[in-house]
Structure 1
Amino acid sequence: MMKHTILKRLACFVLVSVMLLPLLASCTEKLEENQIALAWHQGVITSGSHKTPNALMDGEELYSYSDVIHLEKAGTKLTFRDDNSDGMPDTERAGKDVYVISHWVEKNGEWVLESAGDHYTGSDNLDWRLESFGGDGVGYTYVSTYDNEYIRLCYRSGQTADNTRKFPFAKVYVTATDEPGTLTRIPAEQKAVELRRTVANAAATANSDFYDKGLEGLTVYCLGDSYFDDPAVGFNWADILAAKYGMTLKNYGVSGSTIANNTTIQSAGGMQPGATKGTNPMCLRIAAKMPQNGKPDIILFDGGRNDFSKEIPMGTTESMDESTFRGAINSCIAQLKERYPDALIIGITCWSVTRTRSIDGLTQREFGQAMIEQCAYNGIPCIDQIDEDFTDVHMDQAWFRERYCKSPTDISHLNAAGQIRYFPKMEKVVSEMYAAYLSSKS
C-alpha cells in the first residue's frame, strides 16, 4: 500500500515537472545586456490604412505583438530587429498597414490604442527613417520624447498557431540616453500630437459628469468663420466634442469669411466697389467646398462678426439676396437643407460685443439677433452667443480677455483655456437640440 502511494506521488511529481519545463526554461533564459524580458502574442496592430483600421487583431497569423512596455523617462532608446533571413519563419516585414510602434493608454482597466498618440508604421513616410536595414532584416529604433510613455511593438514574425511553442521572438533592448526623442525630430508632427493630446485630455476631463450616448459616432460638419478656423489655437470646442464622442468632424470654417457675398460695400461716402468686400462667402462655399453626397447628422453654422465688420447690409427677413446678411443666411440654410435633408442644422451667433459701425449705426449684437431671427424664420434652432448669462463669455471685459482670449485686445477669439472652459456649455446645448430634433422626427 505504501509502495503504491510512493509510486503515485512520484508519477505526479514527474508529470508536474514535465509541464513546468517550458516555463522554467523561459524563466531561466539569460538576457543579453540591455535586453528586457517581454511577452509576445500572436496578432497584429493595424494602422489607419488597414481594412480594419487602428485595431489590435488578436490571433491574426504571421504577426506578433508585445505586451505594453513602460518607458519611464524621456530619452529612453528602444531597439528591436525583425530577422528576415532564410532560416526564419517569415522573410517579409510589416508594411504601411501595421503599426510597428504604437502608443497606448489605460482606460477602465484596459489598454487601448491612444487616438491622439504618435504611431509608426512598418514603412514610415515621415522625414526621418524609423527603420535601418542590414543583412537579412530590418531594425527598429525609437527614443521616447516624454516621461511615462506606454508602447507596444508589432512585427511580421511568421507566428502561427502551429509554430508558437518553439518560436524565436524578436529580442528587445532598452537603454537610457540623452538623445532627443523620435517625435522631436519632426516639430510639425510633435505639435500636432501635443495638440491632439490636449483635445483628448479636455474631452476626458471637462464636464466629466455629463455624457450623452446619443451623440456617439455622429458625423458633424462645421460651416463658419474663425470661430471654427483659428490656426493659432489649433482646436475649438467642436473638436473636443468630437473627441469625447468618437464623432467624425468635417470643418469647413474659413477665418475672416462672411456669410454674405457682397463685392460692393456701403461707406459714409457712398458705394465703393471692392472696398472691404466680403471674403470667402459661406453662401458660395457650400456648393464649392462641401460634399454633395455627404451624410452629416449635425451641421454647425456660425457667422456674423465679419459681416458686421465688413459693412455688409442687414437686408430683410424674407430676402434671398446673398449680398445682404439676412438674405445670405436664408440662402445658406436653404442650400444646406437641400443638400443634407436629414441633418440637424444649428445656427450660432457672434459674441456679444459693444461695437457700433459708423456706416449705419448697427451694432454687433443686432447682427447676432438677426441670426437668431433668421434661424427661427427657417425653422432651425440657434445657439444664442450674445446671451452672456448663457455663455459666460464676456468679450467686453478686460479680465476675461486676459485669461481666455488670444490676446488682451482680442474681442473674437478664445484661446485654448477659453475653448476648454466653454466646451461644457456647448456640449449640453448641442445634446439638447439633437435630442429634440430626433424626438420631432419620431
Structure 2
Amino acid sequence: MTIDDSKGSVTGSKVPGSNVPGLKGKVLYAFGDSIIDGHVYTGRSCADVVAEREGMILVKRARNGATILDSDIVNGLGGQILRQVGTVEPDQPKPDAILFDGGTNDAYADRIPASLGSVGASKDPAALDLTTFAGCFEATILAFREAWPDAAIVYLAAAKLGGRDWSVQNDLRCVALAACAKWDVTVADVFGDTELDTRRDDHRVRYSFDALGSDGLPGTPETIDYPNPATQPSGTHPNFEAIDRFYAPVIARALESALA
C-alpha cells in the first residue's frame, strides 16, 4: 500500500513477498537519493517494493541527486537529504519506521576526504561540524529523531558501486556505520551483506539501469542498447532484479529488526 506523493491518496498493489512478521500495516517514511526515489522509474524503487510486499503504508520523499552534505557545498542537484523532513505534510500518518540512504552523490574524490570529518563521542548537536559529511550525517539522523521521536530508523547502505570512487565509498561507509552505531540506527547493509558489486561488469550490466528500456521499464540487456556499453549502465541504480534479489530482502529484515 502506497501513499501517492503528489495527491496523498492511498493505492493498493499486490506484489508477491516475504510477509515479514510485524511489518504489515506499519507506516514507512522513505528519504534519500535516487536509489530510494527510483531514478527515472520513481514508482517502484526498493522502498516501494518493500512497502508493497509487506503491506506497509509508504510516504516517500527521496529525490534524485540528493546529498548528505549541504547541497550548497557540493552543488547537489537534489538538495540535502535532511531538508526532506520538511516536505512531509502534517496530515500524513505518523511513521512507525524511517528508511533513508545517502552518500552516493557525495562519493566523489573532489569532495571527500577534505569534507569527510569524523564521528565523535559528543551527543551535543551544537558540536556537529555541518561542513563535513560526518556532521551532516549525524544531523540527518537527529532531524528524523526530532520530527518523529517514536519512529525506528533504518539506514540503507547501498551496494558496492562501480560508478563511484572505491576508496571514497569505503571512507563514507566507515563514517555512516559509526554514526549509526552511535545513534542506535539499524543498518540495512546491502554493501556488506550481499554479493552485489557493480564494479564487476557482469553485475553492472545485469543489475543496474540508467534509462528505461523499449518496454518502458528500467533497462535490461534485453530491452535497451546503451550508446556506450563499456560504461552504461553506470552501476548505480538497481533494476528490478537487483531490488528483488538484494535490496528488498535486506531492507525488510532490517525493518523487522528495528521494529522488534
TM over 0.5: yes
Contact 1:346 1:381 in 2 (8 A): yes
Cα–Cα, structure 1 residues 366 and 351, in superposed 2: closer, same or farther, change >3 Å?
farther
Which region of structure 1 is more displaced relative to structure 2, 409-418 or 314-323? 314-323
Which region of structure 1 is more displaced relative to structure 2, 277-286 or 326-335? 277-286
Aligned match for 1:379, one of 178, 184, 207: 184
Contact 1:242 1:249 in 2 (8 A): yes
Contact 2:118 2:175 in 1 (8 A): no
Give the deviation of 1:380 after TM superposition: 1.6
1:311 aligns with 2:111: yes
Aligned match for 1:352, one of 160, 179, 182: 160
Measured against aligned partners, the alpha-carbon deviations of 1:244-291 in whole angstroms (never above 9, x if no partner) come to 2321100110000101215345xxxxxxxxxx45741012232x3124
| SS of residue matched to 2:99 | strand
- Structure 2 unmatched ranges of 5 or more: 1-8, 121-126, 211-231
| SS of residue matched to 1:372 | helix
1:399 aligns with 2:198: no
Structure 2 counterpart of 1:352, one-letter code: K
- Structure 1 unmatched ranges of 5 or more: 1-52, 55-113, 117-199, 266-275, 436-442
1:290 aligns with 2:98: no
Look up the match of 1:263.
Answer: 72
Structure 2 counterpart of 1:222, one-letter code: A
Greater RCO between the two (CA within 8 Å, min separation 6)? 2
TM-score, normalised by the number of residues in structure 1:
0.45
1:414 aligns with 2:238: yes
Structure 1 counterpart of 2:111, one-letter code: E
What is the rounded CA distance, in whole Å, between the counterparts of 2:149 and 2:90 in structure 1?
12
Contact 2:30 2:99 in 1 (8 A): yes
Look up the match of 1:426.
Answer: 251
Structure 1 counterpart of 2:137, one-letter code: I
What is the rounded CA distance, in whole Å, between the counterparts of 1:367 and 1:416 in structure 2?
26
TM-score, normalised by the number of residues in structure 2:
0.74
Contact 1:394 1:400 in 2 (8 A): yes
Give the deviation of 1:295 after TM superposition: 1.0
1:237 aligns with 2:237: no
- Root-mean-square deviation over aligned CA pairs: 2.6
What is the rounded CA distance, in whole Å, between the counterparts of 2:258 and 2:30 in structure 1?
16
What does 1:193-342 align with in structure 2 at a 5 Å threshold?
200=14, 203-204=15-16, 206=17, 210-233=18-41, 234-264=43-73, 276=75, 279-286=78-85, 288-292=86-90, 294-309=93-108, 311=111, 313-318=115-120, 319-342=127-150
Identity %, equivalent residues: 25
Measured against aligned partners, the alpha-carbon deviations of 1:112-146 in whole angstroms (never above 9, x if no partner) come to xx944xxxxxxxxxxxxxxxxxxxxxxxxxxxxxx
Cα–Cα, structure 1 residues 356 and 392, in superposed 2: closer, same or farther, change >3 Å?
closer
Look up the match of 2:222.
Answer: none
What is the rounded CA distance, in whole Å, between the counterparts of 2:179 and 2:236 in structure 1?
22
| SS of residue matched to 2:37 | coil
Give the deviation of 1:384 after TM superposition: 2.3
What does 1:61-76 align with in structure 2 at a 5 Å threshold?
none
What does 1:115-130 align with in structure 2 at a 5 Å threshold?
115-116=12-13
Structure 1 counterpart of 2:258, one-letter code: M
| SS of residue matched to 2:36 | coil
Runs of 4+ in 1 over 6 A off after TM superposition: none
Look up the match of 1:155.
Answer: none
Contact 1:299 1:344 in 2 (8 A): yes
What is the rounded CA distance, in whole Å, between the counterparts of 1:211 and 1:263 in structure 2?
41
Give the deviation of 1:231 after TM superposition: 4.4
What is the rounded CA distance, in whole Å, between the counterparts of 2:141 and 2:176 in structure 1?
11
Look up the match of 2:216.
Answer: none
What is the rounded CA distance, in whole Å, between the counterparts of 2:77 and 2:172 in structure 1?
15
Give the deviation of 1:417 after TM superposition: 2.1
Q: Which has the larger radius of gyration?
A: 1
| SS of residue matched to 1:215 | coil
What is the rounded CA distance, in whole Å, between the counterparts of 1:381 and 1:374 in structure 2?
11
What is the rounded CA distance, in whole Å, between the counterparts of 1:264 and 1:245 in structure 2?
38
What is the rounded CA distance, in whole Å, between the counterparts of 2:31 and 2:38 in structure 1?
13
